[in-house]
Amino acid sequence: MFKGFYTVATGMIAQQRRTELLTNNLSNANTPGFKADQSTIRSFPDMLMSSVGTTNAPAKQQAGSQYMSQIGALNTGIYMQETLPNYIQGQIYSTDFPTDMALIDGNLPQNEDGTKGSIFFRLAHPDGGEAYTRNGNFTLDGHGYLVNPQGLYVLSDRGQRIQLPNDDFRLDENGAIYVNNRQVARVGVSFAADPNKLSKQDNGLMRTENGQNLPTAYGANGVSFTLRQNYLEGSNVDSSSTMAGLMTAYRAFEANQKVLQAYDRSMEKAVNEIGKV
């Protein structure tokens, strides 16, 4: 009976966490460059149940011996194993703002386990090192530096801040920024061979787990991409499938809740009625 309580509780916890994940995806459906999170739900290892008893042999042959017979496997519940972002590119749309930039994936090689690499804009993190993002919704601050919506400096391919006199500049598809037909900088773009090793943070930022900077994507072996000015990459959240997943998670949570209530009523009868006999 108590085992049933634990099994049902694990199902409710897993579905609650899945609901929170899907809700966060849905709330960021209109956030530029947002990458939807995906969850993996797995069951705990099954327990092999066995019964132990005396043998059916004659008393002289038993000599206190016992036998063990297998009853079968017992499931011990489920859990959310991990959450990983989906790095598929979102839809590219026009904004008519010259400081908006979009990364367009070209050829991105796969690593040994089949994971496809990904490219990101380089940002200067206030805690030191670099942060990475696909959100190219940039602007110029009061000193003319190119910054992201949270005020982090956009870095060039040389790891330096990009300062411009105004927003009257041109960005070519290779990332070069021109002012008065003279190249003044090149937007920094980094390549992650295994983006699943990145740590996802608030505001669409990514950081490496060891704090080291990612290598540049320019000239990387087998990597090709382009940049586009006056465009942004939208979120890759599929609103319709996310809503369907939310309904499924909610119904699974509700079903587990009803089972838990049934267990609770059974325990109440066992304590209050059977215990009187």
- Asked if residue 60 belongs to a domain, the reply is no
- Asked if residue 61 belongs to a domain, the reply is no
Same domain, 163 and 204: yes
Model confidence, pTM: 0.79
Where do we find the tokens 């411009």?
164
Tens place of pLDDT per residue across the chain (277 aa):
567 677 788 888 888 889 999 999 999 999 999 999 988 776 666 666 666 665 555 555 555 555 666 666 666 677 677 788 899 999 999 998 999 999 999 999 988 777 889 999 999 998 889 999 999 999 999 999 999 999 999 999 999 999 999 999 999 999 999 999 999 999 999 999 999 889 988 888 999 988 889 999 999 999 999 999 999 999 999 999 999 999 999 898 888 888 888 877 777 777 677 656 5
In whole angstroms, give the CA distance from residue 21 to residue 2: 29
* Buried/exposed 4-15: b ≥16 CB within 10 Å, e otherwise: eeebbebbbbbb
Same domain, 176 and 196: yes
- Asked if residue 63 belongs to a domain, the reply is no
Rounded to the nearest 10°, the torsion over CA 203, 208, 212, 218 is: -80
- Asked if residue 49 belongs to a domain, the reply is yes
In whole angstroms, give the CA distance from residue 187 to residue 79: 42
Same domain, 130 and 172: yes
- Asked if residue 149 belongs to a domain, the reply is yes
Residue 183 lies in domain: 92-233
Both structure tokens of 176: 């070069």
Same domain, 100 and 187: yes
Same domain, 247 and 177: no
Which ranges in the chain belong to alpha helices (H)?
A: 2-27, 59-62, 239-272
Tally of domains within the chain: 2
